[in-house]
Structure 1
């Protein structure tokens, strides 16, 4: 499995924070920060938009690094992704991701 597939199955390479980071795109950082601040009703600033993928060493957004329940669970269980977890099919937290992004499930199974 590619290392840019997140623990939850989302493709980090399609995330605006990842794209802004690898391309050092300040305009995309600003646009993403504004959108995410509105969507999450949280003070997200352009300098918070730096991420190299949740399963690789390097920069991560504050959410992905510290607040993502799925990432914390996978790290605790020592699995590469949720696809390696025997409870994947029953996981309500992962279910929320998959219901909004069916490609995530395919990434975990593939």
Structure 2
């Protein structure tokens, strides 16, 4: 499977929702819904676990991806991810990366190669 990097630096192709969607695996959807419901203290249903990656312009997105501020910013700029942005790194991204430092590392590697 091709590695897909989201705007924020999360590896979409490693995400349980993306994987379950690509292989159409209902058991994987159930597991992800249970895991995320506990982790985020929200009621997430297996049918919510569908996503084609945040870079998808017309595809199915997990609920958080459809409201993500980094995606809302990057999509109209027509960039692959935030590493390609002339304003990298911004306040929204920095706040997110405090919670998900691996995503920052991913974008930093990309930024250093372009």
Which bin holds the TM-score, normalised by the shorter protein? 0.7 to 0.9
Q: Does 1:45 align with 2:45?
A: yes
Q: Does 1:75 align with 2:78?
A: no
Superposition TM-score, scaled by structure 2 size: 0.78
- The separation in 1 between residues aligned to 2:28 and 2:112, in whole angstroms, is 31
2:20 touches 2:28 (CA, 8 Å); kept in 1?
Answer: yes
- The separation in 1 between residues aligned to 2:76 and 2:7, in whole angstroms, is 12
Superposition TM-score, scaled by structure 1 size: 0.80
Q: Does 1:105 align with 2:105?
A: no
Q: How big is the shift at 1:24?
A: 1.1
Taking a change above 3 Å as real, the CA distance of residues 63 and 109 of structure 1, as seen in their structure-2 partners, is farther
Other-structure match for 1:26: 26
Q: Bigger CA drift: 45-54 or 78-87?
A: 78-87
5+ unaligned residues in a row in structure 2: which ranges?
Answer: none
Q: How big is the shift at 1:100?
A: 2.1
Q: How big is the shift at 1:53?
A: 0.8
- The separation in 1 between residues aligned to 2:3 and 2:74, in whole angstroms, is 14
- The separation in 1 between residues aligned to 2:11 and 2:112, in whole angstroms, is 13
Other-structure match for 1:92: 91
Root-mean-square deviation (CA), in Å? 2.2
CA offsets 1:33-75 (integer angstroms, 9 cap, x no match): 111112222221100000111112321111101x211111212
